[in-house]
Structure 1
Amino acid sequence: MVMKPRIKRLDEIIDKMVNVVEDSKDEIFYISEDAREEYERLVIELNETKDKVLKHIKAEKELSKKVQTSKRHLSEVSKSFDRYSEEEIREVYEVTHNLQTKLIMLREKERNLRLKRDDLERRLIGLENTINRADGLVGKVSIILQYLNEDFQQVNEILKEAKEKHKFGLKIIEAQEEERRKISREIHDGPAQMLANILLRSEIVERTAREESLLIAVAEIKNVRQLIKQSLQDVRRIIYDLRPMTLDDLGLIPTLNKYLSTTAEFHEVSIDFTEFGTEKRLEPECEVVLFRLIQEAVQNSIKHADASHIHVKIEITKNHIIAVVTDNGKGFDPSIQKDDSFGIIGMKERVDLFGGKLVIQSKVNKGTKVIIRIPNQ
């Protein structure tokens, strides 16, 4: 009973692991998107900066020409002080100085713009690498997540199968105990009561033979004989339910014939039996498994499907043994697993042990077909 909490905790751990990987994938995706937006913004800013650099270069060239012209003019004025007034000389000097100052400032702005351009280009390269790495990581995480989901799905299937086997194991124990109680009741109510009655009648026979006439004693002996015969039939029936003796002595087909005819008569249903290629005996273990599988399928048709007609067919070939049990019962939806479907689980377990395959075809109100296929080893 400790198994369920452990499986539940394992399921929670698996779900948390998958959620962590999915969250990591989302985080990487958001980082990639942020980097992409920043990249696009920096591209626009870089293009604007490049345009400004070009404009500053053009303006610098024009201003540089003006500075050169002003310097030449200042040189001429400096050589001919006598031809120009002091005011004119100061004006030429100030114009040249102002032009030189503007040129220095323009060159400083151009240098800053170039530095900004270079910095933007480096940042764009870094962002491009980040985007590429993020995209690569998203792809890798997606692959990892796919593998995790597939692997964890297999784990869940294994856990589910383990839980089913655990339930099935408990059901087997319960069924064994119930079968023991059933046999105990049958022996107590049948042969045990009969034997007690026989013992009592034998005492009556003894007293009658001693105290009364022999004719009455003989009649009482006949009653005792009838009780013994009935008790023997009950014992044989119980033994047959545990394991049919004819299965070891005569084989699968005669045992099935007897079982199906007895079942049909007892439950008042129509059961047809068809066999092909059954000349040779099968391995004892194989005969027991096939008998129990067909017995389970027939009992399911009677008890659960309320079938009025059942057709059992068995075909033995060189490589395979195929048994088919078809009924006209109420059917069911095979995709819906019920809590009490341990009979089907048990049938699958038996078939798996022999490397075979069990197929159940059924529809609601359309009957059921059970196909059993196992290798003929």
Structure 2
Amino acid sequence: MQVDALDRVIKNAIDVMESSKYQIFEICESVRSERQALNSELQQVMEETTNTINKVDRFEMEYRRARVRLTEVSRDFKRFKEDDIRAAYELATQMQTQLAMLREKELHLKARRDDLQKRIKNVDKQLERAESVVSQVNVVLEYLDGDLDQVTRLLESAKNRQLIGLKIILAQEEERKRIAREIHDGLAQTLANVVLRTEIVERMLNRDTISSAKEELVDLKIQVRSGIEEVRKIIFNLRPMALDDLGLVPALRKFIQDYEEKTKIRTKIELAGKEARLPSGMEVAIFRVVQEAFSNVLKHSQASHVTLELTYQQQMVKVTVKDNGIGFVVEQIDKKIDKGSHYGLMGMRERVELLEGRMEVESDVGAGAKVSMLIPIKLESKEG
């Protein structure tokens, strides 16, 4: 799975949706402005329509009166003069023309009013759809934003699993190289020497030099015993039997005893609290962390003394490794760990974090070093 590509796709999708949301929001604002303008225009048209209707009603009444007046003056030529008849006729004609214009204006205003009302309904539908889309986009964004941390954690978890898998492979390869070196430098050399010595003994026996052959057999027996001891040490490093049979503390005692004999660095183990058996996986992890810590002391510290402190608490185990070596600047080591270049401390920290614990490193140039690890004990996972 291309985790980085998936991460980019999700982030790009959120960015596009955010941009689209604001574009739709701008459309909504534009539609609202148009609706407001249409409402204002409709209000004006309705007011003008009302005024025009009132004028039409008034002019109809005046037009009827003008027709009545024209009829009166047209029937009584004796009483009204020609000028009176012409004036009545002109008034009636003028009223008729204005009334026709007002009726035409009324029809136009009503048509305009109906058109504006239809447009407002269409705008309302558009605004409703746009607001619905904005609401849906907000819901999706809220869902994505709410779950993005979880998605990011899953992506980071996938990345971490891949990195941890690679580191496990590298650790396995390093362990294989170490075992190969130990077998090559120890057991293989011993066995090769045994073969050579047996050939010497064979020649001596052929020459009837029994006493010399016996001496060679004694030396050969010593070398075979030494080879057996080497094999036992290799087996112990692969999986200490005492760890399964007796527990963490006896396995650590045996380890630091062998460490002192091999490296000539004085060692000490201090226990505090009530010793108890821990889950098998936790005991193995703590044992490996201590192994790595002592290996770091041998490789880097130039120390003459190293102390292991193991403190049992009710819900936590504290492991501390102190040495009197040359020390170092913690900030520089932290940078190396962050860059993945200090594999010893990095491997220790990863093991501790896998156990949901935390590791602290204290040191200064010329003042030795102290590595403390706090590992929680989960009661539900403890073996009965």
TM range (shorter): 0.7 to 0.9
Structure 1 distance, partners of 2:378, 2:246, is: 22
Matches within 5 A, 1:49-68: 49-57=45-53, 59-60=55-56, 63-64=59-60, 66-68=62-64
For residues 127 and 362 of structure 1, what CA distance do their matches in structure 2 show? 68
Query: SS at 1:237's partner residue?
Result: helix
Residues 336 and 342 in structure 2, CA contact (< 8 A), matched pair in contact too: no
Cα deviation, 1:318-354, whole Å, max 9, x if unaligned, reads 5x34234467752426995748877368626853xxx
CA displacement 1:188-242 (0-9 Å, x = unmatched): 232121122133234445655756683x666655644553454344323222211
Structure 1 residues 89 and 339: CA distance shift in structure 2, 3 A: farther
**Which of the residues 16, 21, 43 maps onto 1:25?**
21
Relative distance call for 1:188 and 1:97 in structure 2 (3 A) is: same
Give the superposition deviation at 1:180.
Answer: 2.8
Give me the whole-angstrom Cα distance separating, in 2, the residues matched to 1:185 and 1:29: 70
* Residue number in structure 2 paired with 1:358: 357
> How far apart are residue 373 of structure 1 and its match?
1.4
Number of the residue aligned with 1:148: 144
Q: 1:361 to 1:337 in 2, by over 3 A?
A: farther
Name the SS of the counterpart of 2:377 in structure 1. strand
Could you say which residue in structure 2 is the equivalent of 1:347?
351
User: What is the CA–CA distance in structure 2 between the aligned matches of 1:164 and 1:201, rounded to whole Å?
Assistant: 53
The one-letter code sitting in structure 2 at the alignment partner of 1:358 is: G
Structure 1 position 137 matched with structure 2 position 133: yes
Task: Give the number of equivalent residue pairs.
Answer: 365
Which residue of structure 1 lines up, in the alignment, with residue 40 of structure 2? 44
Amino acid at match of 1:179: E
SS at match of 1:172: helix
Deviates more, 1:129-138 or 1:98-107: 129-138
**Cα deviation code 1:48-101 (max 9, x no counterpart):** 223423443454455445434433432331232233444542332122112122
State whether structure 2 residue 90 is matched by structure 1 residue 94. Answer: yes
1:332 aligned partner, one-letter code = D
Matching residue's letter, 2:358: V
Displacement, 1:36?
0.8
Q: Indicate the residue corresponding to 1:252 in structure 2.
A: 248
What SS class does the counterpart of residue 82 from structure 1 fall into? coil
| Greater mean alpha carbon deviation, residues 197-206 or residues 332-341 | 332-341
Indicate if the aligned counterparts of 1:333 and 1:363 stay in contact, CA closer than 8 A: no
CA deviation profile, 1:96-154 (whole Å, cap 9, x unmatched): 11212212211331232234234424433443454344334313321211212443543
The reply on whether 1:231 has 2:219 as its aligned counterpart is: no
- Residue 331 (structure 2) pairs with residue 332 (structure 1): no
Classify 1:345/1:98 alpha carbon distance in 2 versus 1 (closer, same or farther; 3 Å): farther
Find the counterpart in structure 1 of residue 375 from structure 2.
372
Displacement after TM superposition at 1:272 (Å): 6.4
Deviates more, 1:258-267 or 1:198-207: 258-267
Q: Percent identity?
A: 35
Q: 1:228-282, CA deviations, whole angstroms, 9 ceiling, x for partnerless residues?
A: 4543443232222112233234321122234346557867888764433444444
Instruction: Note if contact 2:289-2:348 (Cα within 8 Å) is conserved in structure 1.
Output: no
Task: Please tell me whether the aligned partners of residues 269 and 307 of structure 1 are also in contact (alpha carbons under 8 angstroms).
Answer: no
The 3 A distance-change label for structure 1 pair 95 and 261 is: farther
Partner of 1:162: 158
**SS at 1:83 equivalent:** coil
Deviation by residue 1:286-343 (Cα, 9 ceiling, x = unmatched): 432332344346656876x96979775544455x342344677524269957488773
After TM superposition, the score normalised by the length of structure 2 is: 0.74
Cα drift, residue 183 of structure 1: 2.0
Following the alignment from structure 2 to structure 1, what is the Cα–Cα distance between the partners of residues 130 and 23? 10
- Per mean C-alpha deviation after superposition, the further-off stretch among 241-250 and 320-329 is 320-329
2:352/2:359 contact within 8 Å kept: no
The answer as to 2:287 corresponding to 1:291 is: yes
Tell me, in whole angstroms, the C-alpha distance in 1 between the residues paired with 2:376 and 2:57: 95
Q: How does 1:104-119 map to 2 (within 5 A)?
A: 104-119=100-115
Q: What is the TM-score of this pair, normalised by structure 1?
A: 0.75
